[in-house]
Structure 1
């Protein structure tokens, strides 16, 4: 089945050019376009795309906040952020909120198509030019106490699920508590285990206590 994409950029010429090239070079379908962050969220609610290609600099609601809202409502939608800047310190925050990719706009269309399929296969893709520079800048400006922990790499929803798991309740109870499906809870758990390099539910609980994310009084 062809992947269904939503293009979000405030420059209509860029959207039109990207739409033409993607449909020419792949079997993907562009199901809609948005010119700002708020419109992108609304189009996701209506069209339920598989993928969103999202400009980082969007009017009305920037790319980072747009990612956060879309991922909270639709965790299965894949989002790749596109940027023109190699010195973009938004990378870490974008990944924290659940972005699946962070790419420069100047890449070749064949490479973009390949990277979209890589994300569909479960990978996170980042332009090497961005990753190297941003990680170095973060390392230079942050003190050891400020550098992100593994827990901070989780999305807001994943952190919420981890905290509920640590209280000992079941996946079904978690799903009912935060109004998502049990399958979505399981997906969040897989992501948590992968990001924290843990192997089981019991290790998640142990991690939550050892890191001070939850204390024993919360489980009484």
Structure 2
């Protein structure tokens, strides 16, 4: 019979007691599982994961980094992720899956549940209940719909000419600058500046320079 490779389990947790406990659990499950190591933060995880050859990364989301650790490990690709938490908040559980985890296990659950979850997600399954799966599906559908809907502000901004965008950037640089100062910086006359601003206000549906300054800051049109 072909020898089955053990599931290599890696942990990201800020809590040493969690690392100690999970290591013992994994070793107890040997030879079906093998401890691949533990780190206390995302930066260390990203630097260590490739060499660890982990199959499943358990991410403790109860620390300060929380879901950011799940997102960071997921972005790197490779191992499948299992979120570990003491929280009963289903919104946190759903968010962990949406961030890239293949499942969530609470710290209050039996050790057998944790081991089974690791085995299942290693096989490519998702470790969530039916209600969670339904909520996550609806949230993904909502996000997809939002992505497909046109952005009305983007449509307005697309109407601006190159010179008008330069004008917006210069106006947003200093809200207290006089029209003469802005015109000099753009190397145009004050009359031309007024024409540009009239056109910009109409296209962006704004009323004055103060509104334009605020709008440019919100939409990333400000000078850098």
Asked if 2 retains the 8 angstrom alpha-carbon contact of 1:7 and 1:15, the reply is yes
Greater Rg over alpha carbons, structure:
2
Change (3 A) 1:36 1:127: farther
Corresponding residue number in structure 2 for 1:13? 17
RMSD: 3.3
- Aligned-pair distance for 1:100? 0.6
Deviations 1:17-42 (A, max 9, x none): 22112211242111111112322222
CA distance in 1, matches of 2:25, 2:41: 21
Corresponding residue number in structure 2 for 1:70? 73
Residue among 23, 37, 45 paired with 2:42? 37
The 5 Å alignment of 1:39-58 reads 39-58=44-63
Query: Structure 1 unaligned runs (5+)?
Result: 139-146, 154-206, 214-220
CA distance in 2, matches of 1:107, 1:69: 26
Structure 1 runs, 4 residues or longer, greater than 4 Å off: none
Deviations 1:91-148 (A, max 9, x none): 23222221111110122222211111111122111368x949xx5xx9xxxxxxxx72
CA distance in 2, matches of 1:131, 1:66: 21
- Aligned-pair distance for 1:85? 1.0
State TM-score, norm by structure 2: 0.55
Deviations 1:69-93 (A, max 9, x none): 221221x311001010102522232
CA distance in 1, matches of 2:29, 2:39: 22
Corresponding residue number in structure 2 for 1:28? 33
Corresponding residue number in structure 2 for 1:204? none
Query: Structure 2 unaligned runs (5+)?
Result: 151-224
State TM-score, norm by structure 1: 0.56
